[in-house]
Structure 1
Amino acid sequence: MWESFRDLLYRNPNHRFTEDLLKAGLIQIFLALDYLHTECKLVQTDIKSDNILQEIEDKSILESFTQAELKSPSPRKTVNDLPIYASRRFDLPKVFGRAVLSDFGSAVQGVERRNHDAQPNIYRSPEVMLKTDWSYPVDIWNVGAMVWDLFEGRHLFYGNDPDGKGYSTRAHLAEVMGFLGPPPLDMLQRGKRSHEFFTSDGKWKQDIEIPTGVSLELSEEFLDGKNKEMFIAFMRGMLQWRPEDRKTAKELLQDPWLND
């Protein structure tokens, strides 16, 4: 394996992926998720740029790594009779290998419905935040939110509470409502935490404002015309309040924008 998507993101001076690089990576991610969800019956729950690695296609970086180490060995020290080495980075390859989904330490069986906390904060799906039973669709939401980091160069949701204490579920939910509108009442009725944030008839009851004047269309900055419309439609296939309304990995592989 070469470095992760996160490393590649920061190697790029623009700190964002090109459209072609994003599409190529997403096709590999959806292939992995389709296999994981349908064949392995597993939910990954921790999809982020750190956990997507790239295979080494350009073998010349191995030779240059070896020669660099021979000419100038990495700094090292001994702790408890064991050598500790400083890391040496690979060169940027001339061609990139396949994207590989990694780190399954938090994966769970998808056939068992769960409602425990999961996912990185900014990528948490509505069903995890509201504590409804969740399964495979949490991974789809997770990918949708991560796409914004890779392509737009910033998070779609931050969840920073105005109380100054950092991330909070209520701030995150408010942001999601700003982009997607209020959650469906039937979904709120399934959530064990819904009463903390909403009244019984679905009204927001937290003392935090729902953002106005925001949308996926307004937030997307690098596309235009029909291509932008297709991209937003692709995103909406993943970013839906109800998990059952989201497309599956197999369906997303057939998306027109991804295959344009």
Structure 2
Amino acid sequence: MLSRLFSAVRCSVTRHTQESPFIVRVTRKAEAEPQEQYRPGGYHPISIGDVFNERYCVVEQIGWSFYSTVWHVEDFLTQSRAAMKVIASRITKNKAGWDERGCMIALRDQNPQAPGHGHICQLFDTFMVDGPNGRHICLIIEIMGPTVLDIYCCSPRSGFKFLPLFLVKRISQHVLLALQYMHETCNIVHTDIKGNDIFMTGIPSTPVLPEMLEITDHAFKTTTFKLGDFSKASRMSNRRVKLIQPTTLRAPEVLVGAEWDVKADIFNLGCLIYELVCHVPLFNPEWNKEKTGFDAPQTHLAQMIALLGKFPQSLLTKGTATENYFDSEGNLLKGSGEYKMTLHKLLSCTPYSWKELTSMVDFLSKALIIDPVERWSASQLLAHPWLQDVH
């Protein structure tokens, strides 16, 4: 589910020290979906009080994306609340919606006893609805709280630069548990892991959508983070899309056009964890492009090689775009030597202890290995010492 409930927020945060707890205050600010999408092939028109499938009564809207609208509903049958995602008709028609539905059913049913199952946003029910704009898949899913992006967005507005380490570690562990289940049990790749796809649970409780949310240390230390929005998820047996992932979080194999697998999610997550720690993206493909004349992939690859080392020939030979950026010896055509950096130096700006910094660098270096064959899996990263003190 891609919720924009908190996508335009005013936030404040109390600096986390030994003397004061880490408190985030998120102010809700509604953002309307584009009305021009209510047309054939687009959104299904929905009003408060509408009843779907003879049991789900619409209470209010809680989000939208260009592919769907998301609503808070009350279930007459179970007397519980849920979120209803109504997928645009054109997405239903071109089968992308069916892929999302199929992945969510598999994630729900494959092994509910697996440790990572509880870190997946769960599907409760699914049905079809016909309307003036076409046919739509409806997904009834558990209603979630604020996202990691909401927490992250509080920081710059108050001058707080770094999230508490306990919080970054908890988020990392919970998402890795979700990926362990997705990758190793269900053979599904998320392909689009970002801050607004990782949700807190249990917050808020009642009312469901307060104008102001105050999230305390205790809530952060006890909440379960869940991975959601499977609109771009792909089964390993059905990888139709070549270009995946948010641009700045894109894996090396994707940049060169090689076949990707579950390890692309790991690299994506490694980049995201760095961003949560340092509050800036690890890679910036648009950096100084007016001066260098490089396009975004050239800059991205130059930064990646400077930080993580050379691409192995075994990976380059598999890439359909390799010849656009590399010569026959595996050297960059443009950008070689343009950047000089190390993970340790980049992370040295954080206020964490030398011991924590060293362990974090080692953890991230295992997630950010250029060669996906050598890159650590979710299970391997979960066993890394950096995550062993997460409670």
Query: For 1:6, what is the secondary structure of its paired residue?
Result: helix
Give the deviation of 1:64 after TM superposition. Answer: 9.2
| Aligned mates of 2:231, 2:161 — CA distance in 1 | 28
- By relative contact order (CA 8 Å, sep 6+), the higher-ranking structure is 1
Match of 2:260 among 128, 134, 137: 134
Give the deviation of 1:21 after TM superposition. Answer: 0.5
Task: Encode CA deviations 1:105-152: one digit per residue, 9 max, x unaligned.
Answer: 000112456660000000000000001111100000000000111111
Counterpart in 1 of 2:387? 258
Which letter maps to 1:202? Answer: G
Counterpart in 2 of 1:76? none
Q: TM-score, normalised by structure 2?
A: 0.57
Counterpart in 1 of 2:324? 196
Task: Encode CA deviations 1:29-51: one digit per residue, 9 max, x unaligned.
Answer: 01100111112210000000111
Which letter maps to 1:218? Answer: K
Match of 2:250 among 115, 124, 134: 124
Q: TM-score, normalised by structure 1?
A: 0.83
Counterpart in 2 of 1:101? 227
Contact 1:4 1:53 in 2 (8 A): yes
| Aligned mates of 2:209, 2:366 — CA distance in 1 | 42
Match of 1:145 among 243, 266, 271: 271
| Aligned mates of 2:208, 2:318 — CA distance in 1 | 56
Greater CA drift, 149-158 or 167-176: 167-176
Query: For 2:176, what is the secondary structure of its paired residue?
Result: helix
Query: For 1:156, what is the secondary structure of its paired residue?
Result: coil
1:107 and 1:144, CA in 2 relative to 1: closer, same or farther beyond 3 A? same
Which letter maps to 1:47? Answer: I
Contact 2:191 2:233 in 1 (8 A): yes
| Aligned mates of 2:240, 2:312 — CA distance in 1 | 20
Contact 1:115 1:128 in 2 (8 A): no
| Aligned mates of 2:236, 2:322 — CA distance in 1 | 23
Query: For 1:50, what is the secondary structure of its paired residue?
Result: helix
Contact 1:47 1:143 in 2 (8 A): yes
Which letter maps to 2:149? Answer: R
Counterpart in 1 of 2:30? none
Match of 1:46 among 192, 195, 202: 192
Contact 1:158 1:167 in 2 (8 A): no
Structure with the higher strand share, 1 or 2: 2
Q: Report matched runs for 1:78-97 at 5 Å.
A: 88-93=211-216, 95-96=219-220, 97=223
Contact 1:114 1:135 in 2 (8 A): no
Contact 1:9 1:15 in 2 (8 A): no
Query: For 1:179, what is the secondary structure of its paired residue?
Result: helix
Query: For 1:100, what is the secondary structure of its paired residue?
Result: strand
Give the deviation of 1:203 after TM superposition. Answer: 1.6
Give the deviation of 1:163 after TM superposition. Answer: 3.6
Give the deviation of 1:227 after TM superposition. Answer: 2.1
Counterpart in 2 of 1:178? 306
* Structure 1 residue 7 corresponds to structure 2 residue 139: no
| Aligned mates of 2:315, 2:240 — CA distance in 1 | 15
Counterpart in 2 of 1:77? none
How many residue pairs get aligned? The number is 236
Which letter maps to 1:36? Answer: M
Which letter maps to 2:306? Answer: G
| Aligned mates of 1:48, 1:27 — CA distance in 2 | 15
| Aligned mates of 1:65, 1:233 — CA distance in 2 | 40
Contact 2:302 2:339 in 1 (8 A): no
Percent of aligned pairs sharing the same letter? 26
Which letter maps to 1:23? Answer: K
Give the deviation of 1:162 after TM superposition. Answer: 3.8
| Aligned mates of 2:208, 2:237 — CA distance in 1 | 46
Which runs of no fewer than 5 residues in structure 2 stay unpaired?
A: 1-143
Structure with the higher helix share, 1 or 2: 1
Counterpart in 1 of 2:168? 22
